[in-house]
């Protein structure tokens, strides 16, 4: 099959278009013919080697964390899916590789594709949808009337998280550029802050939850907009000790991660608020919940551009500019 391969860890390194073997289908796997795949900042970070300390891949490997497509065959233990099913998924870590014509995915990571959207729209959902769900529903347990600050509201995670937070009954504030103010308001943002002309710290206060996706300076400012007991959930880092326990890392890596996050944790403690790092995980049942929200019209995908498969490297470059409104998608099969 054809795929885009990372030959070695390198910042902004080139992807190689190559013919590779089709993946092995294990007993509890479904083989998916990839019709579309989403492009994420995570892809560039993995290619650059930013996560190789605790999420190592042995080059050469295929990038890609979102898939929408059709099941072509299933392993002998698979019960929930059959050949011909239209599905979508975020394959689990160490088994990614959706920048390819086929991928084998554990059936517990897979959900039926929402019937009312295209393959390209479906491919835009899994990683950002699961990130928002795990942050707001699972970790924050967001409740009606609470206030949540979602950074970068016009980005992939932001466009989904705003809609989910509004569905949960929260008051939503976000940051974005002036040209995207109307977009984030249309998604449900109650307070839209132009990050170029306004300082969100002077506008916001007493918030219950912050979904942080930016740099360390923004993190420190964000801790100060929380009310006492409030929670900042970071998807940008630094990782915290709870994350290292979940991954079962060795003592050395646990110590490294504890040191990396010490400043953020101490600052949060001094302000009487909480800090948590989230590295989203594959979860098919949560995707089923998201499917229901999409089919009922509660959440709509926001897709900026669709690139053809042969332009996968260009799609990754575009994502790295940080200018995308919503998600960037690759159409693998036309």
Q: What is the pLDDT of residues 3-29, one digit of tens each?
A: 999 999 999 999 999 999 999 999 999
User: What confidence score (pLDDT) does residue 294 get?
Assistant: 98
Same fold, 2-124+301-331 and 128-277: no
- CA nearest to 20, candidates 6, 31, 30, 37: 6
The domains of the chain are located at 2-124+301-331, 128-277
Token code pair at residue 98: 């959706």
Dihedrals φ, ψ of 272, to 5°? 75, 30
pLDDT digits 0-9 by tens, 267-290: 999 999 999 999 999 999 999 999
**CB distance 107 to 81 below 8 Å:** yes
Q: Give pTM, 2 decimals.
A: 0.97
Mean pLDDT for all residues in the chain? 97
**CB distance 116 to 294 below 8 Å:** yes
Q: Which of 43-57, 58-72, 218-232, 304-318 has the lowest mean pLDDT?
A: 43-57
Q: What is the CATH number assigned to the segment(s) 128-277?
A: 3.40.50.720
193 beta partners: 175
Separation of alpha carbons 235 and 156, rounded Å: 12
Q: What is the mean pLDDT of residues 232-259?
A: 92
Question: CATH second-level architecture of 2-124+301-331?
Answer: Alpha-Beta Complex (3.90)
């Amino acid at each position: 099959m054809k795929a885009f391969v990372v030959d070695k860890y390198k910042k902004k390194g080139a992807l190689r278009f190559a013919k590779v073997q089709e993946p092995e289908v294990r007993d509890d796997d479904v083989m998916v013919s990839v019709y579309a795949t989403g492009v994420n900042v995570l892809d560039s970070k993995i290619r650059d080697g930013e996560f190789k300390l605790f999420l190592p891949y042995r080059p050469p490997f295929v990038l890609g964390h979102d898939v929408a497509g059709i099941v072509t065959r299933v392993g002998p233990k698979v019960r929930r899916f059959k050949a011909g099913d239209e599905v979508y998924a975020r394959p689990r870590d160490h088994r990614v590789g959706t920048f390819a014509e086929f991928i084998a995915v554990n059936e517990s990571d897979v959900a039926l594709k929402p019937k009312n959207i295209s393959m390209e729209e479906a491919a835009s959902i899994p990683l950002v949808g699961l990130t928002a769900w795990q942050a707001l529903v699972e970790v924050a347990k967001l409740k009606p009337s609470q206030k949540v600050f979602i950074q970068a509201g016009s980005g992939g995670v932001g466009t989904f998280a705003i809609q989910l937070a509004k569905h949960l009954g929260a008051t939503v504030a976000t940051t974005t550029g002036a040209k995207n103010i109307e977009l984030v308001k249309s998604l449900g943002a109650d307070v839209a802050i132009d990050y170029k002309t306004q300082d969100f710290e002077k506008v916001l206060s007493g918030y219950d939850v912050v979904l942080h996706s930016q740099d360390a300076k923004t993190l420190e400012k964000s801790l100060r907009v929380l009310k006492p007991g409030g929670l900042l959930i970071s998807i940008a880092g630094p990782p915290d000790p709870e994350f290292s326990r979940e991954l079962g890392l060795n003592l050395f890596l646990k110590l490294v991660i504890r040191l990396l996050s010490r400043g953020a944790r101490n600052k949060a403690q001094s302000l009487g608020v909480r800090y948590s790092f989230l590295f989203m995980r594959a979860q098919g049942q949560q995707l089923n919940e998201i499917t229901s929200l999409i089919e009922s019209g509660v959440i709509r995908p926001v897709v900026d551009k669709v690139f053809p498969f042969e332009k996968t490297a260009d799609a990754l470059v575009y994502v790295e500019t940080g200018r995308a409104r919503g998600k960037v998608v690759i159409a693998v099969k036309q």
